[in-house]
Amino acid sequence: MTFPESTVAKDRYAMGLADLLEHWPVVRQLRDGDPLGLGPAVQSQRSKTLTPRIDEAEHVVQSICPYCAVGCGQLVYVKDGEITHIEGDPASPVSRGRLCPKGQASRSYAQSPLREYKVKYRRPYGTQWEELSLDDAMEMIAQRIIDTRAANWQDKTDDGKPANRTMAIGNLGGATLDNEENYLIKKLMTGLGIVQVENQARI
Amino acid sequence: MGSNMAENHPVGFQWVMEARERGAKVIHVDPRFTRTSAMATKWVGIRPGSDIAFLGGVVNYILQNELYFREYVEHYTNAPVIIDEAYVDTEDADGLFSGWDPEQGQYDVTTWSYEGMETHGAAGQREEGYSPKGEQSGHGGHGGGLKHGEPPSEDPELTHPRCVFQILKRHYQRYTPEFVAETCGVSVEDFAYVCEALVQNSGRERTSAFCYAVGWTQHTVGVQYIRTAAIIQQLLGNMGRPGGGIMALRGHASIQGSTDIPTLYNILPGYLPMPHTENYGSFDNFVQANVAPTGWWGNFEEYWVSLMCAYFGPEASSENDWLFDHLPRIDDDNSVYWTLEQMLDGKVRGYIVAGENPAVGNANGKAHRLAFANLDWMVVRDVVEIESASWWYDSPEIESGELKTEEIPTEIFFMPAATHTEKDGSFTNTQRLLQWHWQAVEPKQDCRSELWFYFHLGRMIKSKLKDSQEPRDLLINKLHWDYPTHSAIREPSAETILKEIGGYEVESGEPLPGYKKLKSDGSTACGCWIYAGCYQNGINQPARKKPHWEQDTHVAPEWAWAWPANRRIIYNRASADPEGNPWSERKKYVYWNGEQETWEGIDTPDFDETKPPDYVPPDDAKGPDAIAGDHPFIMQSDGRSWLYVPQGLEDGPLPTHYEPQESPFDNPLYSQRANPRRQQHKDADWDPYNPIEGEPGFELFPHVLTTYRLTEHHTAGGMTRSIPYLAELQPAFFCEVSPELAEEAGLENGGWATVYTSRSAVEARVLVTRRMKPQTVRGRVTHTVGLPYHWGQRLLTAGDTANDLLHAALDPNVHIMETKAQTCGIRAGRRPRGKALTEFVESLRAQTEKTRPEPEETRKT
Amino acid sequence: MTDARSYYGRPVVKEPTWTWEIPVYFFTGGMGGASSVLGLSAKLFGNEKLSRTALYIGAASDAVSAPLLISDLGRPERFHHMLRVFKVTSPMNIGAWILTVAGGASNTAAALELLGILKPVKLLAELVASVFGPPLATYTGVLLADTAIPVWHEARHELPWLFGASGAAAAGAAASLFLDPDEAGPARRLAVGAGAAELTLMQVMEQRLGETGEVYKREEAGKAGRAAKALTAAGVAVLATRGKGSRGAQALGGALVCAGSMCMRWSVYKAGFQSARDPKYVVKPQRERARREGTKASTMPGESRGAADRGT
Amino acid sequence: MTSIMEPSGVPAGYEAWGDDQHARVGFFTDTSVCIGCKACEVACKEWNLIPADGQDFLAQSYDNTGELNSETWRHVAFIEQEKPLRADDGAVGLRWLMESDVCKHCTHAACLDVCPTGSLFRTEFGTVVVQEDICNGCGYCVPACPFGVIDKRDMKSTANMGHQPDLPSFLGKKEDGRVWKCTLCYDRLKGGHEPACAKACPTKSIQFGPLDELRERADQRLEKLQDEGWNGAQLYLRDPDDGIGGAGAFFLLLDDPEVYGLPPDPVVTTAFLGQMWTNMAAAAAALAVGVVGGFVFGGRK
């Protein structure tokens, strides 16, 4: 994204002396009825042509705040593939365009200076993170699940009741995720016989 | 009560402020004077853990002064129902209900039934101890066991000594204003103010609402807190009506959704129960064990079969009992703390954490971190490197030497996640509204949505196992796992999944209009029956964003979509009187149109549209047809709301005051001190409890400890401690104490304090404030120490973790820990560091364990 | 800590962001402005040596003034924005114009003097410099007074006089440094007279400020103020009693007066920071005035107030 | 100089906009409904991309921001008092006052008057705005402001972030050394949007609109609070006759201004400018006379 910062100044120097004088606020003070130089006479070109960056967005996406469960509407402004601003969606009957400090900070959440963009891998007994490609990580995780499950499968409980499960794998999290994501998690875990699926509902 | 709405739901609180400006009374009953209290018409400072005493006092006030909404109570609640002779109340058994089995530490709940009820089909299972519980019964009371919609014995006069109304009256008769004042540390005048305000603002013309949050749920008797409020709201006629109800203010964007479409061990989508390890014998028996003959849970089989068709597609059929025999089975408790225990025992080998930070957010954080070091592998998915990902090199246990990085065998995959702006999907908010968020930008580099992760993980696992003949791989191989993808990263289509959730006709693929169309013959598939219809007419209903100013009513039905059936207030038939007329013009909402012979109003009626108010079900009626025309609570087997809960709860049919696991006081009512059914980890050394009064070392932990959230941060901080603008607003972990306690403990405003329990010790900056008011309870001054729990050892603002102090004794119904009322000690200065910290905590424990008597010998704890 | 009602004892007004360059400029600007007048006066009265010395001192003072000011700017490369407008409401803007004209003139004159050419132009330049010299020496008093800093704003009657006197004393004293006693009579007398005036004005200002003026007794403003008084008094005494007789004594006296003048600026400068730091200096006088005359800032319930329509 | 101080309530420079003039707008901040959530602080920073301010635990109730400065253009003050909210609630009580402070956009604005570059100017909306492309950081406006609002940015003060990894490219790109304050979202106003803080405010404690409408609304609000018996309710800087000619951003307070860190009766310093210039002229003249006097009395050498 760009900010209209002093790009105008260059143009101004390119102008002739007459133009320069013409635009000299002292001249404008006298000419434009602002003798004290407190108002329009001293307005810079940048100030004159200032536009809010939400008006320069390529598209605006209706979204929902990711924090608490009030579910406030958000408008996400995008330019050049980057979020330029997030603010409340006035159309929402839930929030009427308002947001709390967390919701208002959602752009900074998505663009946090601490945001991680790469897979990090710590091998057993390792002392630091290592790089790992996403594909390799997925492959390794899939294999871990298969192996752990195979090694710890319970057809029946100790007293002979049906179990059809592994108690060696758990999955935690969901309250910050989408319904569709939770649906896939529970479906996949149920298919795999993983029953220890839990989320923040208890905390 | 039990909520700090202004701080934790600020934008939702705009409606409360607007009501206040229009003259509504806003009352905040809370241990702390918070930003909510500051906005309230009245703040009543209550001792943590004493809410049932307070609310029970309100019930007693209503009953003793005959201020209940008679017509509502008589017709819409189970007040007239006569209870089985075998039922014995806590008032007659010193704090225990009938059926208590001290060996098992459980209740036999059969004595709590309605009189004359025959247990239906699945008697065998019931004897084996199976009944729906916790979330399984959350929205149901399925298996309520009524042959038809009416309980066998009723007394419309409400005078029979064993009718619910009279039992209620007796149960709460000792909850007098003086009792409330003594137990809760409030004044009789303040209590009277609350009672009067509630009663005056309820009835035909007016309604009152309760708002609660985890201040109520996070107790060893948490479910019963909410139940007590439910009793008040039923007595005052505030359920199913506009401006009434009990509002659960949930804390995460889709915590409601993740319960409806659960990532929970004990339920499947739509609150269908996970099968237990019981040998049901057959699928039919399982259905019989769960179906309610009457009410909407009568269609249990339709819901179940449709789910299985969504899960397994054509692989599920009536011939193979919809694969029932292959489904995994659960034990009574496989919840997160149970998993923790198993992990500590080395039984759990792999753990996937997605969008949660248990190292900071869960009670007894240290136990969690130590448990992670027992895993073979762990996957952590988040947008920043949270404490649950970094524990192996920077946790407090590394500092103390209890863990050594190079000795930890756990293999860890940190997978960067996508944010809500980087994916399509729906959240279900706290009022059951499914709201769609559209993707705004592509996730960068390795960042991926959970949708992507789990879809491709499943795809890869399935492809690796596709040739397996192992019985254990049968189910995964039959799983229907075919979703279209888009974009360069092959993101699965969230809308396709929403369509599966909303249900479709198997034959045509046409989306279903609602749950009434679900079939048990395999002709419909539906991923979550209560969400059925969310894709009706092929339209993504949650994505409807018609501005509220373009809609006719404040209900704004064309903004997003509420389950079920886009109903904004459930049980809204109760907004009309038994004859179907609005209780008052002012509170008109849904009502019977006699001419059109249909229910109508500004919301989707929560009733059979054409069932007249005077409908009386025939004796052989089943399912919804068995609900009478003047019984609004259609999910219940008797169509009424339950003042008294005959089935579904583990710890009693009526809420009763118990002290928390840890409290400075005995139970003023009974020698039974705390909830007898609460879950403790008594034999585990990872979850020691502070001594209670009379036990050695009690004086080490004289103060009440309560934890909470601040506006400026979110839960365990992963989504806010990473943001400079938020980190600077609350830049340090702090404790809030009264000037009196500060004086007593030598604490200085802005200085440091060490807070400690038997679990751990943490250091926090001190904020001395009048807002923490010492309370006089039974003649004794008690102090409360307040701790916000957002901090962990890393990110932009770092600090000790309040949850490290907390034990994990649980509510028996929903396995939620008691974060809101524990005990602690406090002293000035920073905590011991390194090894000295462990030694300090051990020395505390040594002082409590020296000559500790067996609790059972001296008292019932 | 403050003894007035406040928000956690936090300041109401902000401390200035100015750094050491500003008080030094007050000194150089004052000395330069007064030197120009001294120079032209000497010329008119036929004291060429004094005239030239004062001209050079004035030109040099003005010449260092501009870089001092520019170096204090947050964005020095934009110094010329000062002349973008002509704002009578801004003492700093007017001061920039004055300094530009006065400094330009004095340096033009000094340059021509050095080169020994264009005499009429030089004379004109000297004339311009000495017309703009006195404003240059005194406007800085307005500059400080035209702020919300209580100890400055409330001294708005004294500050231009004080700074003028101090500038004149410094000009006289500086000239005395470079001249033999028999050539420096007017300069010495100026230093003595203006130095005495400076001392008196400081005293008067502190007295009239009342409680607001107590910052002059404390911390750095107090130290610098005491030093200023001692140095100036000593310098005046030396110049008055011994200056005529000894070149060394005259130089010493001159140096002391200059140092006194500089210390006075430092004291006033620092007093502003101290005055801003404690909210009581803002709150108490305002509250008292409000009590006395009725406040307009707060509208209490039921009070009649200015018509809403007038406000826009 | 008197022209700028005529008690007309019309800001100097505003009329000069002629046809480009818009209705004068401002904020009415009603502290009786402020829940202290600080959404305004964050909304302001998010919109204006202000650098983070550093982390200090102040132990001053829930205020860890402290003050308005170059990095904070909205600041929520928290005051805990043992005083009942309503006057009729008896002697004891507890109340927690919260107030979102902001630049007042004075009718007679000292910062604007004293600015030597014309960087500060009166916009077509009647607001007072710093032009970041003009300001040269002379700092004169800083001590001129009677409310301590405007402040010079020193990026060093933001370096104590603990972590400061790669900020998003457009954050931290702003240059230091200039003065900054609330612009009343000048750019948003130009696009027809309300300022970010007012838009975010969950309870509409911050109301944005044409000033005359806001004043009318505030008067009604004060009356309502009086009827309801609120303790200490008063409008602050609402009156065009006050020392700054009334503010563009004014407040409903529940206690005296100084309790919130606001001056109880501020007067714009330039109200005395005429007097000061006259005084200076006299002093300058005296200086000249004094110098000449040195020659006249005592000879030329």
**Helices (H) then strands (E): counts for chain A:** 8, 8
Q: Does A26 touch chain C (CB under 8 A)?
A: yes
d(CA B816, CA B363): 10
d(CA D42, CA C226): 47
Contact D161 B38 (CB under 8 A): no
Q: Does A25 touch chain C (CB under 8 A)?
A: yes
For residue B286 the two structure tokens come to: 């399982």
With bands split at pLDDT 50, 70 and 90, how would you rate the model's confidence at B858? very low
Contact C78 D117 (CB under 8 A): yes
d(CA B347, CA A167): 7
More confident residue, B127 or B366: B366
The answer to the question of residue B584 being in a domain is: no
Q: Does A75 touch chain B (CB under 8 A)?
A: no
Which is it for the CA torsion D278, D279, D283, D284, positive or negative? negative
Q: Does A29 touch chain C (CB under 8 A)?
A: yes
Written as one letter, the residue type at B514 is G
* CB hemisphere CA count around B674 (13 angstroms): 28
With bands split at pLDDT 50, 70 and 90, how would you rate the model's confidence at B138? very low
Q: Is B658 exposed, middle or buried (0-12, 13-18, 19+ CB in 10 A)?
A: buried
Contact C88 A36 (CB under 8 A): yes
Task: Give A75's DSSP letter.
Answer: E
Each residue of B418-435: pLDDT tens digit? 999 999 999 999 999 999
Q: Is the pLDDT of residue B530 over 60?
A: yes
Three-state DSSP at B304 gives: helix
Measured between CA atoms, how close is A136 to chain B, in angstroms?
11
Contacts of residue B543, Cβ cutoff 8 Å, sequence gap at least 6: B426, B436, B438, B560
> Which residues on chain B are in Cβ contact (under 8 Å) with D94?
33, 37, 43, 770-771, 773
Radius of gyration (C-alpha) of chain B in whole angstroms: 27
Q: What's the confidence (pLDDT) of residue C245?
A: 84
Contact A29 C89 (CB under 8 A): no
With bands split at pLDDT 50, 70 and 90, how would you rate the model's confidence at D158? very low
Report the complex ipTM. 0.94
Q: Nearest chain A Cα to B429, which residue?
A: A69
d(CA D132, CA B766): 40
Contacts of residue B539, Cβ cutoff 8 Å, sequence gap at least 6: none
d(CA C92, CA C82): 8
Q: What backbone phi and psi angles, to 5 degrees, belong to B694?
A: 95, -15
Contact B817, D75 (CB under 8 A): no
d(CA B637, CA D30): 51
Contact B1, B216 (CB under 8 A): yes
Counting one residue from chain A and one from chain D, the pairs whose CB atoms sit within 8 A come to 133
With bands split at pLDDT 50, 70 and 90, how would you rate the model's confidence at B148? low
d(CA A65, CA A86): 10
Check whether the bond before B564 is cis (ω within 30° of 0): yes
Q: Is the pLDDT of residue B216 over 90?
A: yes
Q: Nearest chain A Cα to D12, which residue?
A: A38
Each residue of B352-384: pLDDT tens digit? 999 999 999 999 999 999 999 999 999 999 999
Contact D210 C312 (CB under 8 A): yes
Three-state DSSP at C26 gives: helix
Task: Give B579's DSSP letter.
Answer: T
Domain range annotation of chain C: 21-290
| Interface with D, mutate which of B15, B421, B728 (most D CBs under 10 A) | B728
More confident residue, A14 or B812: B812
Q: Nearest chain A Cα to B481, which residue?
A: A188
Contact C298, D236 (CB under 8 A): yes
Contact B355, A176 (CB under 8 A): yes
> Which residues on chain C are in Cβ contact (under 8 Å) with A42?
84-85
With bands split at pLDDT 50, 70 and 90, how would you rate the model's confidence at D154? confident
For residue C34 the two structure tokens come to: 């007064």
Q: Which of B13, B749, B798 sits opposite D35 (nearest CB)?
A: B13
Q: What's the confidence (pLDDT) of residue D48?
A: 96
Q: Which of B117-126, C44-53, D37-46 is least confident? A: B117-126
Q: What's the confidence (pLDDT) of residue D299?
A: 64
d(CA B559, CA B538): 17
Q: Does C46 touch chain D (CB under 8 A)?
A: yes
Q: Does A98 touch chain D (CB under 8 A)?
A: yes
Which has the closest alpha carbon to A7: A42, A39, A45?
Answer: A45
Could you tell me the fold of the domain covering D9-267?
A: Alpha-Beta Plaits (3.30.70)
Q: Does A173 touch chain D (CB under 8 A)?
A: no
Q: What's the confidence (pLDDT) of residue C182?
A: 87
Which has the closest alpha carbon to B453: A174, D85, C68, C139?
Answer: A174
Q: Does C47 touch chain D (CB under 8 A)?
A: yes
Q: Determine how β-strand A73-79 pairs with β-strand A59-64.
A: antiparallel
Q: What's the confidence (pLDDT) of residue D165?
A: 36
Q: Does D158 touch chain C (CB under 8 A)?
A: no
Helix intervals (H) in chain D: 39-48, 110-114, 141-144, 186-190, 196-200, 211-227, 273-296
For residue B685 the two structure tokens come to: 């050394």
Measured between CA atoms, how close is D166 to chain C, in angstroms?
25
Contact D272 C156 (CB under 8 A): yes
> Which residues on chain B are in Cβ contact (under 8 Å) with D54?
728
- Block means of pLDDT (10 residues each) for chain C, length 312 residues? 81 96 96 94 90 94 94 91 95 96 94 90 93 96 97 96 96 92 89 95 96 95 97 95 87 95 97 97 93 84 53 33
Q: Which of D38, D121, D166 sits opposite A42 (nearest CB)?
A: D121
Q: What's the confidence (pLDDT) of residue D295?
A: 85
Contact B214, B363 (CB under 8 A): no
Each residue of B611-661: pLDDT tens digit? 999 999 988 888 889 999 999 999 888 899 999 999 889 999 999 999 999
d(CA B283, CA D220): 69
d(CA D221, CA C270): 44
Q: Which of D18, D42, D166 sits opposite A101 (nearest CB)?
A: D42
- Do chain C and chain B touch with ≥3 beta carbon pairs under 8 Å? no
If contacts are CB pairs under 8 Å, which of residues 10-49 in chain B contact chain A?
10-12, 14
Q: Does C1 touch chain A (CB under 8 A)?
A: no
> Which residues on chain D are in Cβ contact (under 8 Å) with A42?
118-119, 121, 131, 134
> Which residues on chain A are in Cβ contact (under 8 Å) with C91?
none
Q: Does A111 touch chain B (CB under 8 A)?
A: no
Q: Is the pLDDT of residue B249 over 80?
A: yes
Contact D35 B11 (CB under 8 A): no
Q: What's the confidence (pLDDT) of residue B147?
A: 60
**For chain A, which residues score pLDDT lower than 50?**
1-10, 12
Contacts of residue B131, Cβ cutoff 8 Å, sequence gap at least 6: B109, B137, B143, B647, B648
* CB hemisphere CA count around B27 (13 angstroms): 19
Q: Does D287 touch chain C (CB under 8 A)?
A: yes
Q: Which residues pair with D247 in a beta bridge?
A: D106
Q: Which of B325, B336, B720 sits opposite A202 (nearest CB)?
A: B336
Say which CATH number the domain at B785 has: 2.40.40.20
Contact B230, B645 (CB under 8 A): no
Helix (H) or strand (E) holding B17: helix B13-21
> Which residues on chain A are in Cβ contact (under 8 Å) with C88?
36
> Which residues on chain C are in Cβ contact (under 8 Å) with D236?
297-299
Q: Is the pLDDT of residue B128 over 70?
A: no
Q: Does D175 touch chain C (CB under 8 A)?
A: yes
Q: Is the pLDDT of residue B131 over 60?
A: no
Written as one letter, the residue type at C195 is G
Contact B398, B372 (CB under 8 A): no
Each residue of D44-91: pLDDT tens digit? 999 999 998 889 999 999 999 999 999 999 999 999 999 888 877 665
Q: Which of D17, D20, D167 sits opposite A113 (nearest CB)?
A: D167
> Which residues on chain D are in Cβ contact (under 8 Å) with C6?
258-259, 261
More confident residue, B193 or B858: B193
Contact C16, C85 (CB under 8 A): no
Q: Which of A36, A54, A105 sits opposite D193 (nearest CB)?
A: A54
Contact A171 B354 (CB under 8 A): yes
Q: What's the confidence (pLDDT) of residue B861?
A: 58
Q: Is the pLDDT of residue B548 over 50?
A: yes
Distance of CA A99 to the CA centre of its chain: 15
Contact A107, A77 (CB under 8 A): no
> Which residues on chain C are in Cβ contact (under 8 Å) with D291?
34, 37-38, 41, 168, 171, 186, 190
Q: What's the confidence (pLDDT) of residue C307?
A: 40
| Interface with B, mutate which of A111, A179, A197 (most B CBs under 10 A) | A179
Domain range annotation of chain A: 7-48, 53-110, 152-202
Domain C21-290: assigned CATH number? 1.20.1630.10
> Which residues on chain D are in Cβ contact (under 8 Å) with A108?
46
> Which residues on chain A are in Cβ contact (under 8 Å) with D34?
none
d(CA B608, CA B844): 62
Q: What's the confidence (pLDDT) of residue C296?
A: 78
Contact B14 D202 (CB under 8 A): yes
Each residue of B236-247: pLDDT tens digit? 999 999 999 999
d(CA B703, CA B700): 9
Q: Which residue has the tokens 């949708």?
A: B451
Domain A53-110: assigned CATH number? 2.20.25.90
Q: Determine how β-strand A82-88 pairs with β-strand A73-79.
A: antiparallel
* CB hemisphere CA count around D52 (13 angstroms): 28
d(CA B765, CA B756): 14
d(CA B371, CA D59): 36
Q: Nearest chain D Cα to B8, which residue?
A: D37
Contact D122 A54 (CB under 8 A): no
Domain range annotation of chain D: 9-267, 270-301
Measured between CA atoms, how close is C282 to chain D, in angstroms?
7
d(CA D282, CA C138): 9
Q: Does C87 touch chain A (CB under 8 A)?
A: yes
B693: left (phi over 0), alpha (psi -120 to 50) or beta: beta
Q: Is the pLDDT of residue B549 over 70?
A: yes
Q: Which residues pair with B764 in a beta bridge?
A: B753
Contact B39 D53 (CB under 8 A): no
Three-state DSSP at B788 gives: strand
Contact D166, D187 (CB under 8 A): no
Q: Is the pLDDT of residue D162 over 80?
A: no
